[in-house]
Amino acid sequence: MLHETVRRVGFRQVEVRGNQMYINNMPVKLRGVCRHEVMPLRGRSVNDGMWRKDVELFRRGNVNYIRTSHYPPDEALLEACDELGMLVEVEAPFCWAHNTNVPEEMHDAVLVNQHVEMVNLNRSHPSVIMWSLGNESLKYAEYFKKAGEVVKQMDPTRPRIFSQWGPDADNGELEVTNHHYPGPTGPNKYRNSKRPVTFDEFCHLNAYNRLELAADPGLRSMWGPLLDQMWNDMYHSQGVLGGAIWAGIDDTFFLPGEKAVGYGTWGPIDGWRREKPEYWGMKKAFSPVKIVQKGNMSADGIVRFHVENRHNFSDLSECTIVWKAGGKSGRVTTDMAPRSEGEFEIQLPESLRNAEKLELTVTGVRGFVIDEYSFRILPEQIKPQGQGQSGQLSCQEKADVIEIQSVGGVFTVDKRNGLLSAGQGGNAVLLQSPALMVLPLNGDGEGVQMVGKDQKFKPYNPVCENWLAQSVTCLPGDELISKKVKGIYKEAEGIFEYRFHKNGEVTFVYDFTMLQDISPRQTGLVFTLPSSFTHLDWKRKGYWSVYPEDHIGALTGQAEAFDASLPVSGLAGPSKQPVKSWSYDQTAAGSNMFRSTKENIYSARLKDGSGQSVTVKSDGTQYVRAWIEGDAIRLLVADYNNPGKENFLIPHAEKGYKPLRKGDKVQGKVTVSFHP
C-alpha cells in the first residue's frame, strides 16, 4: 500500500425551498462571521492548531456559520467545524477578478479548475453547506457561469452562491443570493425574496476611522447594539437566510521593526485570539436563547419570563439553565421547540423572597455558555439624599480671580478668561476648565491599508477653539453662589454657569448657539486635571444586563490610566504575544479600559494616589471619557454620543446622528463633586 487516507464523514440534507434553506428538514438561520487566515507574526500562515481554536472561539461567541473569505480553508478548519457543528460557506479563491484579464483559452485552467479542486477536496465534509463561486467580482457570465454549472454537476446536493455587492450579479441563476452591506433596510427589503438571501458581509466593525478609534476604543462597545438591532430584524425576516459579520479576526501583521501592515482591526477577536469588546456584543446579539423578565417577583416568590428559542435544531430542554439568587442556586427545565417562543417561571424558596436580583446562565449542548442575564426582581430601594447642604460657602474677589470656598475646596474663577480652577489642601485638582467640545465625526484613517507609516495615530480630540470670555457675572447667595461667564468660540457662542453648593458640589451649566454647521460624534464639557489623577472608576447602566469584568463597558469597573510594565502600542495592538486581555492594551493616551467612553453613567470618579477625587454624578443619561494629554488628564462629560463614522458602518450608526446647524443650541448640565 502506497498511501492511506482516513477521514470521518457525516450525512445531512441541504435543500432550498422558496426563500428558505432547510438542513435535515429544519429551516435554518445563519449567525456568521467571515474568516481570513491570520497570525500577527506569520501573515496568512496559521499553525499550532489555530483552526480548531478559532472554531471554538466563534462557537463560544454563538456563531454557527463561517464564510471562508476569500479562498478555501485548510482541512483542519473543516474537520473542527464537522465536529463542533459549525456550518460553512466555502469560497473559491477569486476576489475582484474583473480587474484581471484572463484570456479565453485559459478560462478552464484558471477559472473552472480551481472550483473543481475546491469541490473535490472538501465535499465530504458535512459542515460545508454552500459553495461560493467568488467574492465581489463582475463578469459573471464570462468568468463564473461555466464554473457554476460544473460545480452543480459535481455536487447537486449543495446550493451555490456568488458573493457580491447586490443580488443580481449571478443573473438570478444560483440557488442562494446575497447582498453585501445592505444596511438596516435590508431585512425588510428581502422579507419576500424569491430566493434565500445572505448578507455574507454585514455590520462591518469600526476599523478605517482610525483617528476616532485612537481617541475612543469605546466605539467598539457601541457596535454591539447596532449588530443586535440588525440581527433581530434579520432573524424575523423570512427571506434573509442570515449573514456573516465583516470580519472575524483582526487583519493586522507585524513586519521586522514592528511595522504594522494589513487592513486593520476589524474583528471581534484580535490576531492573538483575544476577545475584544465586540466579541461580547456578537455573543449577546447572536444568542439563540433570548430571555425577557415579565414582572417583579410575586408575593409567593414566582418570577415569570418570556423566552425565545432561536436554535435551529435544539429543543430548549437540551440546554442547562441555572439560576442564582441570595447565594443559592437551582435549575430550570423547560420544553420549547427550536425557532419557537413561550414562557417559564421560577419559584424561589421563602428564604429568598427578599432577594433583589436573579441571575440566569444558559449553557448549550456542547458545554459552551450561551448567555448570561441579571434581572432585578424587586425594585431598588433608593433613599432620598437631597442636596445635603452642609458646610460653609464664601466668596472673595481678588485682583485677578474670584475665590469661592466650600467643603469641596478652594475654587478660583480667572478674571482674564472666566475659566475655573480648584484646589484641595494646597494641591490642584482642576485646571482652567471647562472647555466646550463639539467633536466632529471623522472617518479618516489614511486609507483601508495600514501601510507607509508607524500606525501610531494621534487621537482625534479637538475642543472648540479661540475661547474669548466677554463678561463674568457674580450672583452671590447663602445657599448657592453662581458665576455666569459669557463668551465665544470659533464654533459657538454662549454661557458657562458655575453653581457652587455648600456640600462641595459644583454644577456646570452650558448653553451655546452654534456659529457653524457640525455633525458631531460627542458634545459636552472637557475638564483638565493634573496628571496624577490616573485612577478611574464608574457605575453605569448597560445595554446588556451582564458584561465581563474586564470589558471596557462593564457596568461597574475601574481602570488605571497607564501601566509602566506593559508595552505601548498603536491601533494594531501589541507586536508581541500579550500577557493581559485586550482592555489593558495602551497607547500614549492611556489604556483601552481607561480612555474608552463609559455610556449612561450614574457616577464616574477620577482619583489620585493621595485619595483626592473628582466625581461626576449623573442619572444614567450622560457619557464620560478620560485620556492622557501631555502632562494632564482630560475628562469629557458628554450629553450626546454616537458610534462614529466608519464608512461601511454609517448606515447603522447614522440612525443616532444629530447634525448641528448654525443657530442650533448645544446645552447641558454637569454635576461634579470634589473630595479631599
**Can you give 129-144 as a three-state secondary structure string?**
EEEEEEECCCCHHHHH
Q: What pLDDT does 408 receive? A: 82
Q: Does residue 416 carry a pLDDT above 90?
A: yes
Element (H, E) at 595: helix 592-595
Whole-number mean pLDDT of the chain? 94
Q: What pLDDT does 385 receive? A: 58
Q: Does residue 603 carry a pLDDT above 90?
A: yes
DSSP 116: H
Average pLDDT over residues 419-448: 93
- Tell me, what amino acid is at 268? P
Strands 251-255 and 65-67, bridge-based pairing: unpaired
Report CA torsion sign: 57, 565, 537, 631. Answer: negative
DSSP-derived 3-state class of residue 515: coil
Higher-pLDDT residue of 113, 399:
113
pLDDT digits (tens, 9 = 90+) for 513-539: 999 999 999 999 999 999 999 999 999
Distances (CA, A) of 60 to 67, 284, 390, 634: 17, 11, 53, 37
The CA distance from 223 to 208, in Å, is: 14
The CA distance from 663 to 512, in Å, is: 9
The CA distance from 92 to 508, in Å, is: 59
CA neighbor of 224 nearest in space, from 210, 245, 238? 245
**Residue 459 half-sphere exposure toward CB, CA atoms < 13 A:** 22
Higher-pLDDT residue of 424, 370:
370
Q: Does residue 70 carry a pLDDT above 90?
A: yes
User: Which of 193-197, 227-231, 453-457 shows the lowest per-residue confidence on average (mean pLDDT)?
Assistant: 453-457
DSSP-derived 3-state class of residue 224: helix
Please report which confidence band the pLDDT of residue 161 belongs to, taking 50, 70 and 90 as the band edges. Answer: very high
CA neighbor of 328 nearest in space, from 314, 347, 345, 315? 347
Asked if 311 contacts 320 with a C-beta cutoff of 8 angstroms, the reply is no
Asked if 21 contacts 176 with a C-beta cutoff of 8 angstroms, the reply is yes
Please report which confidence band the pLDDT of residue 570 belongs to, taking 50, 70 and 90 as the band edges. Answer: confident
Average pLDDT over residues 433-455: 85
C-alpha cell at 565: 510594565
CA neighbor of 591 nearest in space, from 510, 652, 534? 534
Asked if 440 contacts 463 with a C-beta cutoff of 8 angstroms, the reply is no
pLDDT digits (tens, 9 = 90+) for 7-60: 788 888 999 999 999 999 999 999 999 999 999 999 999 998 999 999 999 999
Please report which confidence band the pLDDT of residue 268 belongs to, taking 50, 70 and 90 as the band edges. Answer: very high
Average pLDDT over residues 475-481: 80
Distances (CA, A) of 261 to 141, 152, 256, 335, 570: 35, 39, 11, 50, 12
DSSP 204: P
Q: What pLDDT does 453 receive? A: 59
Please report which confidence band the pLDDT of residue 586 belongs to, taking 50, 70 and 90 as the band edges. Answer: very high
pLDDT digits (tens, 9 = 90+) for 212-223: 999 999 999 999
The CA distance from 97 to 140, in Å, is: 10
Q: What pLDDT does 476 receive? A: 76
Q: Does residue 634 carry a pLDDT above 60?
A: yes
DSSP-derived 3-state class of residue 510: strand
In degrees rounded to 5, what are phi and psi of residue 59? -60, -45
Q: Does residue 420 carry a pLDDT above 70?
A: yes
pTM: 0.95
Q: What pLDDT does 477 receive? A: 73
Q: What pLDDT does 676 receive? A: 66
- Tell me, what amino acid is at 338? P
DSSP-derived 3-state class of residue 115: helix
pLDDT digits (tens, 9 = 90+) for 300-356: 999 999 999 999 999 999 999 999 999 999 999 999 999 999 999 999 999 999 899
The CA distance from 232 to 188, in Å, is: 11
Q: What pLDDT does 384 receive? A: 62
C-alpha torsion angle, residues 285, 290, 291, 294 (rounded to 10): 100
Q: What pLDDT does 168 receive? A: 87
DSSP 180: S
Q: What pLDDT does 574 receive? A: 93
Longest Cα–Cα distance in the chain: 101
Residue that is written with C-alpha cell 461555466 in the block: 146
pLDDT digits (tens, 9 = 90+) for 353-409: 989 999 999 999 999 999 999 999 988 877 665 555 577 888 888 989 999 998 888
C-alpha cell at 43: 501573515
Q: What pLDDT does 642 receive? A: 98
Report CA torsion sign: 352, 357, 363, 369. Answer: negative
CA neighbor of 198 nearest in space, from 225, 214, 185, 180? 180
The CA distance from 486 to 511, in Å, is: 10
Q: What pLDDT does 247 receive? A: 94
DSSP 39: B
Average pLDDT over residues 179-189: 97
Q: Does residue 452 carry a pLDDT above 60?
A: no
The CA distance from 198 to 190, in Å, is: 10
- Measured at the CA of 275, the angle between CA 366 and CA 48, to 5 degrees, comes to 70
Average pLDDT over residues 478-506: 94
Burial of 547 (0-12, 13-18, 19+ CB in 10 A): buried
CA neighbor of 440 nearest in space, from 492, 488, 483? 492
In degrees rounded to 5, what are phi and psi of residue 84? -100, 5
